[in-house]
Every structure is written in structure tokens, then in C-alpha cells.
Structure 1
Amino acid sequence: MQHPAEESLLGKQTGYVTQYDASLLFPIERRFKWQAFGIDENNLPYQGVDIWNAYELSWLLPSGKPVVAMAEIRVPAHSPNIIESKSFKLYLNSLNQSRFASFAEVQAVMSRDLTAIAGAPVQVWIKTLAQAATEAVVELPGICIDEQDIAISQYDQPNASLLQCRPSKQVKESLHTHLLRSSCPVTGQPDWGSLCVEYQGAALCHASLLAYVISFRQHQDFHEQCVERIFLDLYQLLQPQKLTVFARYLRRGGLDINPYRSTHSLELANTRLVRQ
């Protein structure tokens, strides 16, 4: 079956448009993956957001002088569509030789265009480099499980049967790993990231979580869908009181994507990790 992204410019040789063109943006419907996961698109078992950071943002002032900046973009997890990443990069490139009067104008244009493609309100913040420089690099919360002594040979398909818990022991803890790796479903390019699991419920076996995350190593899927799969597998196993799963992925082409999924509403700080 053809992947929906194969209709986009992803993985194809393209020219770079340098004049503003919102038509470059390409949506990918989330409902097909939701159906594959067996969840109701009208009653999602989580809430959340996809936080994008754009590091290669530039345009021209009315005088013709270039501006460089960064942008933070938040796409609701319930939006009908994912914004396909290569189309997003091409769209940002189309701003390079386009003239805008102010940061506020660029922010408004991006929010309007991305909202139209996602099908739900998208928030955009434009930052100066000086503002971005004040944002510290942080470490993920809780226990790093990367030193767990495990043996594993499965890498091409997420294997939820690897996950183990102790229902008789109830805990509240945060776990993280930097060994998350998956691949683009169209181009096969690697996507590297760090994963954090925060939960309250039956005690999760740390070694089993690490083995499970490593089983994604050659799996092909989008960032958002990998995080949703992890959330759903953990939710089914633990039946927790609370569960939050998020990943901080490394950038490709000047963009990083950081999906958050949770059983409850979150106050999210967009804080970068050392590899970002």
C-alpha cells in the first residue's frame, strides 16, 4: 500500500522556490494511522502537541535587508493532518527572498498557512537569536535507563511484548533514554531522538522499556506516530493513573519535531537537549 507521503515531494528531487508560496505545504492525514492503531479519531486516548523548532528562518525587510530568526511552532495532536516535513522546509525557504514589514507579520502569515494545512489552530512564535540564546540546554527528567544490561536482536518492528511491569508495585517515576532511532517511511533516512516516559501506576521494568525502544531502530514511521505507538503500548500495559510520553528528535534540514502525548493537560516548556 502506498504511504500517503509518497504523493508529496518527500524523497523527490526538487527546486527551491525563494518567493513566498504557501501552496508548497503538504498535509498528511492522521486518521489512517489512528485507524491502524484502532483508536477513534473523535475520542483520542491522549492529548498533546507536536512542537517544531525552525532554525533556518530568514526573510527580507522592506528595505531589502535580510533578517535571520528562529521559530517555535505548536501543532495540536488532534489536528486532522500532520505537516509533511520536506514541504515545510520548502515553504520556509520560500520566505527567503520575500519582503515582510515585521516579525509580527511573518508570525501571522506562518500561523495562518500552517493552521490551514493542519486543520486546527497552529501557534507560531518568532524569536530573535538573542532571545533564543537565553534558552538553556537541559537534561531530561528522571532516571536514564541507557546503562541497563540487555541483549536484543530485533530492530525492524516495535515489539510491545518486550514490555514488562509489576502490577503489585505502584510507582510514580520518570524514565528516559537517548537510544531512540527510527526512519522516515518514504526516504529511509534515520531519525535520532531522546524519549521520556513519565507515569504513575504499575512499576515498569526499566530494562524491558529500553529493549522496546531499541526495537524501533529500523522501524519506518513519522516522529509523531512513533510517539503515539509508544504511548498506546504503555497505556495498554500499565493502565496508569497518569502517563506522558514525549520525544525530542534531532533536527534535519533546519527543523526538529518534538511530539508530546499525555493522559492529562501539560504546561510544556520547549527546552532543548544537548544534541539539539
Structure 2
Amino acid sequence: MAEAAQTISDRIQQKLEDLTRAERQLALSILENYPASGLGPLTALAKDANVSVPTVARMVQKLGYKGYPDFQAELREELRAKVKSPIAKHETWAEAAPSGHILNRFTDAVIDNIRHTLGHIDPAGFDEACALVADPARHLYIVGGRITHTMAEYLFLHMQVIRPNLTHVQSTSNTWPHYLLNAGKGDVFVIFDVRRYENNTLKLAELAHARGAKIVLFTDQWRSPVHPLADITLSSRIVVPSAWDSAATTLLLVETLIAAVQGLHWGETKERMQELEEIFDSTKLFRKFT
């Protein structure tokens, strides 16, 4: 399976409206514990979803597979792609890299990622995520991982200007109990977790979920193990001709969210911006040429 191809999750979501009631029940059962749900025997999958064996066979054919073995084979390829190290990812691109300058090849890959991502984002779900993040009555917690902490910090910096009542959760797990001490029902955790998913991030999500917090997850096309706990998942395509995955599409979603959130309570946000500018002026932090 080529990494930039559709995932099985993508196919299921695209076909949901065309499925029968039983097939849709099966599809939602698969997505609920994706991708592990599809790795067992066909009979076990049917039993877990409370549907018949023929229903499983019909649905995988509707997804474009000859049968359940083909469906499972592609699912296993997705799992292998999920856990690739940077060296393995580089070798994949090095073997199949098209001709042309890296600037063009990399840009083409990013544009393709953006196109695929926007084609699968649910606008209503995105709007719901923006409303949760914008609500000043909910304490907002933002957390990233080893690499994604940079995007978490970027989002946090902007949210500091836009709204009060928020916390940047540091990436070290020994500090998390202190942050979680004050987290409660209705609070919001924005969590970044992309492949080579981090066990500490999953544990934090489990604890936040147990306390009744809402979770907005930024992840990749294969989806973090945090996904089943998330109220809203925003998945991005991340594969580029590099040993490293790309953050470009995820950053696009983050910046779009920032723009939407600032507009939801623009009156209050504008006042905070004006006050911040006054503080900047008093500290002479920035040079002025007027």
C-alpha cells in the first residue's frame, strides 16, 4: 500500500451513506477501535459488531476489496506504515522518488496532503472544535509530544491573546498530575499526537477523559490511539519525500482554527489585543518607526 493512498478509514467514511443499516453498524464498530478491530477473524469482527458474517463480506466488497483477506492485508500494511522509523520512511521515498528537484517534489506532496485532508475534514466537526476551544467558560489545556510540542506552543501563544483561562501542559509526564488536579467535566484538552504515538500522551488523554474533559485531537491519517477517547478528531496527511513527516497540513488546520476562534468572540479578543499592545509599548519590546 502506498503511504499517500486512501486509508481504510477514509474509504469507510466515504461510503457510510451508501451502506445498509447493518453495514453502517459494522462500519462504525470498525472505526470505534480502528485499526485493531479488523485484525481478528471475520467471525470475531461480525460478533463484536452484532452483525452477520455475510454482512462483513458484503461491506468489504463495497469498500473495493475482493474479500476479507485482502481487506486485512491492506490493514496490516497501514499498521506497518504507522510505526515506521525516520530511516525506514526515507528509504521508502528514496526507492520510489520521482525525478525533479526536491523543492517541486516536496511541494507537490504537501499540496496533495492538503487536498486529501480538506477532502475528509467534517466542517461541522471542525466548527464544533472551534466552539469548544473558544469557550472562555471552559478551561483550555494544550499539550503536544516530542515533535508536536512546537505546534502546541504555537497554538497556546495565540490562545493566550485570544482568551483567558488556559494552560500549556508540558510534555514531561511527571508534571501531568499537577495539571490534571484542576481539570474537570467540560474542560477542553487539545492534544497533538502523530505516528510513533507516545504512551504518555495516551495516558494523559485517558486521565483527562476519566475526569469528564472534552478532547480535541490533532493527529495523522492513521489516527492516534487517543482517537477513541476524542470528542473531535482532526486528521492530517503527513507523508512527504523525507525521513521526517510533514507538519504543514496540521499547521494549516491549527492556523485555521486560530482564525476561527478569534472571530467567535472578536469583541473580547480585540480588547485583549489592544491591552497587550499597550503592555508591549510600555516594555519597549518591539521597535517602532513612527
Q: TM-score, normalised by structure 2?
A: 0.28
Higher Cα radius of gyration: 2
Q: Considering fraction of residues, name the structure with more strand.
A: 1
Which structure has more relative contact order (CA 8 Å, sep 6+)? It is: 1
Q: TM-score, normalised by structure 1?
A: 0.29
